[in-house]
Structure 1
Amino acid sequence: MRREGMNYRVVIPVLNQLRYTQQCVDSLLASGTPASALLVIDNGSSDETPRWLASRPEIPAIRNRVNLGCGGAWAQGALHDESDWVVLLNNDVVVCPNAMDDLFAAADRHGLDVVSPALIEGPLDYDFVQHAQKFREAMRGSLRRGWFHGVCFAVRRRVFEAIGFPDTDRQLGGREDVEYLIRCLRHDVPVGTVGDVVLHHFGSITQKAMKLESGQDDLGDRAHFYSKVGMGWLARKRFKSERKRQAREWVAQERAAHGYAMHMLRKNGQWTDALYL
């Protein structure tokens, strides 16, 4: 879909949880994203999702017979057309006004080829629009260079052409975003998270439902993931330690400069900072 000279596609994998998908789509439409710029990928939903999508023919959708996993749906969406940008978005989110245009504008200003918005996680028990306005006014221009998150990340087409698409390996089980981040960093792809845009994330609703249904604590294989990215025990410890150190450093800098942090948590009506990546 082309909007004001920007060609992009918002790919939203879903598996049941129709209420969250409806909220997500409604917030995108309200924020200025045209329906034709969306692509909902139904990973074999057994609830009313297929019926709802059929009732909304203006929203492009793909129906998979089986669950291809997050990575499979991301790759499928990225391959669907030749958009300059592909936004890979969870369905359990709501976005701020003008989210997509402002996200791409911030990426251009900072020279980023993969970009994520700032993130609030937890229950939506506050006025998101009002909070988002104050947050963006304070955080506009802020950047966490070298990090993006899997809740929402936009990728320029040339990145897929250079290093490939998200991994479809089902054993990654929720670590597809970290695998792609590591791959980007190893290939010197400029990535970052910006404060110009913020979204609310209810918190891995689909993954939690899948864990509850399957009785599994982990949908993937942690050892397999680290083996796949070439990290032994020591490299893994260093990787985790560095991520924690960097998160704490970013929070301290953002709080001092702006009064907010790029990644915030909402719990029991209170705000806290996420001290992890």
Structure 2
Amino acid sequence: MVHISDRFVVVIPVFNQLHFTSQCVESLLRQHVETDEILIIDNASSDETPLWLAQHSELRHLRNRENLGCGCAWAQGVVLSPDAEWIVLLNNDVLSGPEAIHNLLDAAEREKLGVVSPALLEGPNDYDFEDFAPKFQKNMSGMIRRGRFHGVCFAIHRSVTEKIGFPDTDRRLGGYEDAEFFFRCRRAGIPVGIVGDSVFHHFGSITQKAIKQKTGQKSLGDLKYFRSRVGSKWWSRKRDKFVSRFIFRKWISDERAGTGCSLHMIRRDGAWELH
């Protein structure tokens, strides 16, 4: 693997949950991501995260004095990485598959995508991800779902932020920042997609669940406000839901036909659900 200087930076917003952060970083390093290609934005963690970051000075990091939210952390990552061609925005509750970041960007460039996400295996890691991921990736390589990306991991080409701006920092969007960015991409005609050349295991919105449990909030964002921000009307949502149902069924059918898998699988009770 040839290291391309300034090709990318991986931006990881964190709020507590040090166990997940540390194993996420370790998995990236095992897959040939360099320490100077990782930027951790600490949103005022109150656990041992600040101490851990201080002990790992080889990792670039920024600590916010208060929790500014995911969107602000993403935007900070873009601002602090002016020379990176790609900004990879990544949850901390994930494990990297084989060469996941490099393969993700290679696929994006091959498919001429401005924003790209990897395949996801979600839920408990009760299936030996390290053994399963290489086989899954080999089978799914070359497959693509055009017109979608997801907030667990999405890489943005520099040209995209120059065209439509940074991820939104509005705190009222909490949890909908990726969806707001998707709406802007769609309106600007930015090609986006999910590719099978790269895969991550996602434990499942660990930070959001922890914040909800601590605060008692059912949702971190204001759904009505989000819809008004992006101009999402009732009739357009019904239309999109109707169309998406058929699109996703076709994706799953096509992907399953040759492999028995899909680009999004959820682990429940020791078995896989295709999504």
TM-score over 0.5 for the pair: yes
SS at structure 1 position matched to 2:7: strand
SS at structure 2 position matched to 1:21: helix
Identity within the alignment, %: 54
Deviation at 1:145? 0.6
Which amino acid letter does the alignment assign opposite residue 246 of structure 2? R
Deviation at 1:243? 3.0
Q: Which runs of 5+ in 2 are unaligned?
A: none
Which amino acid letter does the alignment assign opposite residue 228 of structure 2? S
Asked if structure 2 preserves the Cα contact closer than 8 Å seen for 1:32 and 1:97, the reply is no
SS at structure 2 position matched to 1:112: coil
Deviation at 1:246? 2.2
Greater alpha carbon shift after TM alignment, 94-103 vs 43-52: 94-103
Which amino acid letter does the alignment assign opposite residue 130 of structure 1? D
* Runs of 4+ with deviation above 6 angstroms: none
Asked if structure 2 preserves the Cα contact closer than 8 Å seen for 1:120 and 1:263, the reply is yes
Deviation at 1:101? 1.1
Corresponding position of 1:7 = 7
Deviation at 1:5? 5.2
Deviation at 1:137? 1.1
Q: How do residues 217-236 of structure 1 correspond to structure 2 at under 5 angstroms?
A: 217-236=218-237
Gap change, CA 1:6 and 1:76, over 3 Å in 2: closer
Greater alpha carbon shift after TM alignment, 92-101 vs 20-29: 92-101
Deviation at 1:179? 1.0
Deviation at 1:232? 1.7
Alpha-carbon distance in 2 for matches of 1:6, 1:138: 30
What are the Cα deviations for residues 188-240 of structure 1, in whole angstroms up to 9, with x where unaligned?
A: 11110100111000000000001111111111111111111101221222233
Aligned length, in residue pairs: 273
Asked if structure 2 preserves the Cα contact closer than 8 Å seen for 1:116 and 1:148, the reply is yes
Alpha-carbon distance in 2 for matches of 1:101, 1:138: 18
Q: Which runs of 5+ in 1 are unaligned?
A: none
Corresponding position of 1:42 = 42
Corresponding position of 1:168 = 169
Asked if structure 2 preserves the Cα contact closer than 8 Å seen for 1:266 and 1:272, the reply is yes
Corresponding position of 2:68 = 68
Pair 1:179-2:197 in alignment: no
SS at structure 2 position matched to 1:242: helix
Which amino acid letter does the alignment assign opposite residue 270 of structure 1? A
SS at structure 2 position matched to 1:148: coil
Pair 1:111-2:112 in alignment: yes
Question: Cα RMSD (Å) of the superposition?
Answer: 1.2
Which amino acid letter does the alignment assign opposite residue 7 of structure 1? R
Asked if structure 2 preserves the Cα contact closer than 8 Å seen for 1:226 and 1:236, the reply is no
TM-score by length of 1: 0.96
Alpha-carbon distance in 2 for matches of 1:12, 1:130: 25
Alpha-carbon distance in 2 for matches of 1:21, 1:242: 37
